[in-house]
Amino acid sequence: MSPKLKNLNELMDNRFSCRGFLKKEVEQKFIEQIVQVAQKVPSWCNSQPWEVTLLRPETRRLLCEKLSLSSDQAFETPDIDFPKRYAGVYKTRRSICGWQLYNAVGVEKGDRKGASQQMAKNYEFFGAPHVAVITTPKDLGAYGVLDCGAFITAFTLAAAALGVSSIPQAAIAGRAPIVREVLNIGEDRDVLCAISFGFADTDHPANSFRTERADLAEFVEWV
Ligand SMILES: Cc1cc2nc3c(=O)[nH]c(=O)nc-3n(C[C@H](O)[C@H](O)[C@H](O)COP(=O)(O)O)c2cc1C
Protein backbone atom coordinates (compact mmCIF):
# COMPACT_ATOMS: atom_id res chain seq x y z
CA MET A 1 0.00 0.00 0.00
CA SER A 2 1.30 3.48 -0.85
CA PRO A 3 1.87 5.84 2.10
CA LYS A 4 -1.08 8.03 1.03
CA LEU A 5 -3.47 5.09 0.77
CA LYS A 6 -2.16 3.85 4.10
CA ASN A 7 -3.03 7.22 5.64
CA LEU A 8 -6.53 7.11 4.17
CA ASN A 9 -7.00 3.52 5.26
CA GLU A 10 -5.92 4.44 8.78
CA LEU A 11 -8.45 7.27 8.83
CA MET A 12 -11.15 4.89 7.59
CA ASP A 13 -10.17 2.44 10.34
CA ASN A 14 -10.27 5.15 13.00
CA ARG A 15 -13.78 6.28 12.10
CA PHE A 16 -16.65 4.43 13.69
CA SER A 17 -20.21 5.29 14.63
CA CYS A 18 -19.92 6.76 18.11
CA ARG A 19 -22.88 6.30 20.48
CA GLY A 20 -21.51 7.88 23.65
CA PHE A 21 -19.90 11.31 23.84
CA LEU A 22 -18.12 13.51 26.35
CA LYS A 23 -19.64 16.93 27.09
CA LYS A 24 -16.46 18.71 25.91
CA GLU A 25 -17.19 20.91 22.91
CA VAL A 26 -15.36 21.14 19.59
CA GLU A 27 -14.11 24.64 18.77
CA GLN A 28 -16.12 26.38 16.04
CA LYS A 29 -13.02 26.83 13.85
CA PHE A 30 -12.55 23.03 13.79
CA ILE A 31 -16.23 22.46 12.96
CA GLU A 32 -15.85 24.87 10.04
CA GLN A 33 -12.73 23.02 8.89
CA ILE A 34 -14.64 19.72 8.91
CA VAL A 35 -17.43 21.17 6.78
CA GLN A 36 -14.98 22.86 4.40
CA VAL A 37 -13.08 19.62 3.82
CA ALA A 38 -16.30 17.58 3.44
CA GLN A 39 -17.67 19.92 0.77
CA LYS A 40 -14.82 18.91 -1.56
CA VAL A 41 -16.65 15.70 -2.52
CA PRO A 42 -17.95 15.44 -6.09
CA SER A 43 -21.61 16.08 -6.89
CA TRP A 44 -23.59 15.83 -10.12
CA CYS A 45 -23.06 19.08 -12.12
CA ASN A 46 -21.24 20.35 -9.03
CA SER A 47 -24.68 21.10 -7.61
CA GLN A 48 -23.44 20.67 -4.01
CA PRO A 49 -26.98 19.90 -2.86
CA TRP A 50 -26.23 19.51 0.85
CA GLU A 51 -27.30 22.11 3.35
CA VAL A 52 -25.90 21.79 6.83
CA THR A 53 -27.92 23.12 9.75
CA LEU A 54 -25.64 23.34 12.78
CA LEU A 55 -27.51 23.44 16.05
CA ARG A 56 -26.63 25.92 18.77
CA PRO A 57 -26.97 24.50 22.32
CA GLU A 58 -30.48 25.91 22.89
CA THR A 59 -31.72 24.61 19.52
CA ARG A 60 -30.16 21.23 20.23
CA ARG A 61 -31.97 21.10 23.58
CA LEU A 62 -35.32 22.05 22.04
CA LEU A 63 -35.02 19.55 19.17
CA CYS A 64 -34.02 16.79 21.58
CA GLU A 65 -37.03 17.60 23.78
CA LYS A 66 -39.50 17.55 20.86
CA LEU A 67 -38.05 14.43 19.21
CA SER A 68 -38.12 12.54 22.49
CA LEU A 69 -41.84 13.16 23.06
CA SER A 70 -42.86 9.89 21.42
CA SER A 71 -40.90 6.70 20.83
CA ASP A 72 -43.83 5.17 18.95
CA GLN A 73 -42.72 3.58 15.66
CA ALA A 74 -46.10 4.48 14.05
CA PHE A 75 -45.05 8.05 14.52
CA GLU A 76 -42.42 7.74 11.78
CA THR A 77 -43.01 10.05 8.81
CA PRO A 78 -39.71 10.46 6.92
CA ASP A 79 -39.51 12.74 3.88
CA ILE A 80 -37.75 9.91 2.03
CA ASP A 81 -39.12 6.41 2.52
CA PHE A 82 -37.15 4.23 4.89
CA PRO A 83 -35.96 0.89 3.45
CA LYS A 84 -38.99 -1.36 2.77
CA ARG A 85 -37.24 -4.49 3.99
CA TYR A 86 -33.83 -5.99 4.59
CA ALA A 87 -33.65 -9.47 3.04
CA GLY A 88 -30.88 -12.04 2.52
CA VAL A 89 -27.36 -10.79 3.16
CA TYR A 90 -28.64 -7.32 4.08
CA LYS A 91 -30.86 -8.80 6.77
CA THR A 92 -27.91 -10.80 8.11
CA ARG A 93 -25.58 -7.79 8.21
CA ARG A 94 -28.25 -5.65 9.86
CA SER A 95 -28.83 -8.29 12.48
CA ILE A 96 -25.10 -8.74 13.21
CA CYS A 97 -24.45 -5.05 13.79
CA GLY A 98 -27.68 -4.71 15.78
CA TRP A 99 -26.62 -7.53 18.11
CA GLN A 100 -23.13 -6.11 18.42
CA LEU A 101 -24.71 -2.95 19.81
CA TYR A 102 -27.22 -4.76 22.03
CA ASN A 103 -24.55 -7.09 23.43
CA ALA A 104 -22.31 -4.11 24.14
CA VAL A 105 -24.98 -2.23 26.08
CA GLY A 106 -26.57 -5.30 27.71
CA VAL A 107 -29.87 -5.58 25.83
CA GLU A 108 -30.87 -9.25 25.77
CA LYS A 109 -33.04 -11.14 23.29
CA GLY A 110 -36.72 -10.33 23.90
CA ASP A 111 -35.93 -7.23 25.96
CA ARG A 112 -38.19 -4.88 24.02
CA LYS A 113 -38.03 -2.17 26.65
CA GLY A 114 -34.21 -2.20 26.60
CA ALA A 115 -34.17 -2.09 22.80
CA SER A 116 -36.58 0.80 22.69
CA GLN A 117 -34.59 2.68 25.35
CA GLN A 118 -31.45 2.24 23.25
CA MET A 119 -33.37 3.46 20.16
CA ALA A 120 -34.57 6.50 22.11
CA LYS A 121 -30.95 7.56 22.66
CA ASN A 122 -30.98 8.59 19.00
CA TYR A 123 -33.27 11.45 19.95
CA GLU A 124 -30.79 12.57 22.60
CA PHE A 125 -28.06 12.49 19.94
CA PHE A 126 -26.22 9.97 22.14
CA GLY A 127 -25.15 12.89 24.32
CA ALA A 128 -23.15 14.57 21.53
CA PRO A 129 -22.63 18.29 22.13
CA HIS A 130 -22.90 19.04 18.40
CA VAL A 131 -25.50 18.13 15.81
CA ALA A 132 -25.56 18.90 12.08
CA VAL A 133 -28.79 18.22 10.19
CA ILE A 134 -28.32 17.47 6.50
CA THR A 135 -31.02 18.31 3.94
CA THR A 136 -31.24 17.99 0.16
CA PRO A 137 -33.44 19.83 -2.37
CA LYS A 138 -36.50 17.74 -3.33
CA ASP A 139 -36.01 18.77 -6.98
CA LEU A 140 -32.69 16.91 -7.25
CA GLY A 141 -34.22 13.58 -6.27
CA ALA A 142 -32.17 10.44 -5.72
CA TYR A 143 -28.98 11.96 -7.16
CA GLY A 144 -29.12 14.83 -4.68
CA VAL A 145 -29.40 12.22 -1.94
CA LEU A 146 -26.43 10.36 -3.45
CA ASP A 147 -24.30 13.51 -3.41
CA CYS A 148 -25.30 14.24 0.18
CA GLY A 149 -24.27 10.69 1.12
CA ALA A 150 -20.79 11.47 -0.15
CA PHE A 151 -20.77 14.68 1.89
CA ILE A 152 -21.87 12.84 5.03
CA THR A 153 -19.09 10.26 4.66
CA ALA A 154 -16.47 12.94 4.05
CA PHE A 155 -17.75 14.86 7.10
CA THR A 156 -17.22 11.81 9.32
CA LEU A 157 -13.72 11.25 7.91
CA ALA A 158 -12.67 14.90 8.21
CA ALA A 159 -13.94 14.82 11.80
CA ALA A 160 -12.00 11.62 12.49
CA ALA A 161 -8.84 13.29 11.16
CA LEU A 162 -9.24 15.87 13.95
CA GLY A 163 -9.93 13.23 16.60
CA VAL A 164 -13.63 14.11 16.56
CA SER A 165 -16.07 11.19 16.62
CA SER A 166 -19.43 11.19 14.90
CA ILE A 167 -22.48 9.21 13.88
CA PRO A 168 -24.87 9.74 10.97
CA GLN A 169 -28.43 9.26 12.24
CA ALA A 170 -31.33 8.60 9.89
CA ALA A 171 -33.49 7.95 12.96
CA ILE A 172 -34.22 11.64 13.32
CA ALA A 173 -35.42 11.78 9.68
CA GLY A 174 -38.31 9.57 10.77
CA ARG A 175 -39.57 12.64 12.59
CA ALA A 176 -38.96 15.04 9.73
CA PRO A 177 -41.99 17.26 10.47
CA ILE A 178 -40.59 18.05 13.93
CA VAL A 179 -37.08 18.63 12.57
CA ARG A 180 -38.53 20.88 9.86
CA GLU A 181 -40.57 22.91 12.34
CA VAL A 182 -37.85 23.39 14.97
CA LEU A 183 -35.10 24.21 12.45
CA ASN A 184 -37.32 26.14 10.06
CA ILE A 185 -36.41 23.96 7.07
CA GLY A 186 -38.34 24.76 3.87
CA GLU A 187 -40.88 22.39 2.28
CA ASP A 188 -38.63 22.32 -0.81
CA ARG A 189 -36.00 20.26 1.03
CA ASP A 190 -35.90 16.69 2.32
CA VAL A 191 -34.49 15.97 5.76
CA LEU A 192 -31.90 13.19 5.32
CA CYS A 193 -30.21 12.65 8.64
CA ALA A 194 -28.35 14.22 11.51
CA ILE A 195 -24.66 13.88 12.14
CA SER A 196 -24.03 13.98 15.87
CA PHE A 197 -20.42 14.68 16.75
CA GLY A 198 -17.98 15.51 19.51
CA PHE A 199 -15.33 13.68 21.52
CA ALA A 200 -15.93 9.98 22.11
CA ASP A 201 -16.50 8.66 25.59
CA THR A 202 -14.09 5.75 25.14
CA ASP A 203 -15.39 4.07 28.31
CA HIS A 204 -18.98 3.99 27.04
CA PRO A 205 -20.03 0.38 26.36
CA ALA A 206 -21.76 1.39 23.09
CA ASN A 207 -18.34 2.37 21.74
CA SER A 208 -16.71 -0.94 22.60
CA PHE A 209 -17.31 -2.79 19.31
CA ARG A 210 -16.44 -2.31 15.65
CA THR A 211 -18.53 -3.49 12.71
CA GLU A 212 -17.30 -5.91 10.06
CA ARG A 213 -17.01 -5.59 6.31
CA ALA A 214 -17.68 -8.20 3.63
CA ASP A 215 -14.89 -9.97 1.74
CA LEU A 216 -14.11 -8.51 -1.67
CA ALA A 217 -15.49 -11.61 -3.43
CA GLU A 218 -18.91 -10.97 -1.88
CA PHE A 219 -19.44 -7.64 -3.62
CA VAL A 220 -16.86 -7.22 -6.42
CA GLU A 221 -17.30 -8.84 -9.79
CA TRP A 222 -14.86 -8.57 -12.70
CA VAL A 223 -16.70 -9.07 -15.97
C1 LIG B 1 -27.09 7.20 6.39
C2 LIG B 1 -26.84 6.55 7.72
C3 LIG B 1 -27.81 6.57 8.70
C4 LIG B 1 -27.58 5.98 9.95
N5 LIG B 1 -28.53 6.08 10.92
C6 LIG B 1 -28.27 5.60 12.16
C7 LIG B 1 -29.20 5.80 13.21
O8 LIG B 1 -30.25 6.40 13.05
N9 LIG B 1 -28.89 5.33 14.44
C10 LIG B 1 -27.72 4.63 14.68
O11 LIG B 1 -27.49 4.21 15.83
N12 LIG B 1 -26.81 4.43 13.69
C13 LIG B 1 -27.05 4.91 12.45
N14 LIG B 1 -26.12 4.78 11.45
C15 LIG B 1 -24.83 4.12 11.74
C16 LIG B 1 -24.75 2.73 11.13
O17 LIG B 1 -25.45 1.82 11.93
C18 LIG B 1 -23.26 2.36 11.01
O19 LIG B 1 -22.65 3.21 10.09
C20 LIG B 1 -23.05 0.92 10.54
O21 LIG B 1 -23.54 0.01 11.47
C22 LIG B 1 -21.55 0.64 10.31
O23 LIG B 1 -20.83 0.85 11.51
P24 LIG B 1 -19.67 1.93 11.61
O25 LIG B 1 -20.21 3.25 11.18
O26 LIG B 1 -19.28 1.93 13.07
O27 LIG B 1 -18.56 1.48 10.71
C28 LIG B 1 -26.34 5.34 10.20
C29 LIG B 1 -25.36 5.32 9.19
C30 LIG B 1 -25.60 5.92 7.98
C31 LIG B 1 -24.50 5.93 6.94
Beta strand 51-54 with 189-198 is unpaired
146: in domain: yes
pLDDT at 76: 85
112: in domain: no
160: in domain: yes
pLDDT at 53: 98
Alpha-carbon gap, residue 98 to 20, rounded angstroms = 16
Q: At 129, which CATH number?
A: 3.40.109.10
Is the minimum distance from the CB of 80 to ligand 1 under 6 angstroms?
no
142: in domain: yes
* C-beta of residue 135 within 8 angstroms of C-beta of residue 185: yes
Segments forming the whole domain that contains residue 54: 16-83+123-208
Alpha-carbon gap, residue 209 to 116, rounded angstroms = 20
Element (H, E) at 28: helix 28-38
Is the minimum distance from the CB of 97 to ligand 1 under 6 angstroms?
yes
137: in domain: yes
Is the minimum distance from the CB of 170 to ligand 1 under 6 angstroms?
yes
Is the minimum distance from the CB of 209 to ligand 1 under 6 angstroms?
no
23: in domain: yes
CA 181 to mean position of chain CA atoms? 20
56: in domain: yes
- Of 68, 44, 4, the C-alpha closest to 148 is 44
Specify the pTM: 0.97
Count of domains forming the chain: 1
**Ligand 1 centroid distance, CA of 129 (Å):** 18
Alpha-carbon gap, residue 172 to 76, rounded angstroms = 9
pLDDT at 49: 98
What is the pLDDT tens value at each position of the chain, 223 positions in all? 999 999 999 999 999 999 999 999 999 999 999 999 999 999 999 999 999 999 999 999 999 999 998 656 556 899 999 999 999 999 999 999 999 999 999 999 999 999 999 999 999 999 999 999 999 999 999 999 999 999 999 999 999 999 999 999 999 999 999 999 999 999 999 999 999 999 999 999 999 999 999 999 999 999 9
59: in domain: yes
C-alpha distances (whole Å) from 37 to each of 123, 124, 150, 157 are 27, 27, 12, 9
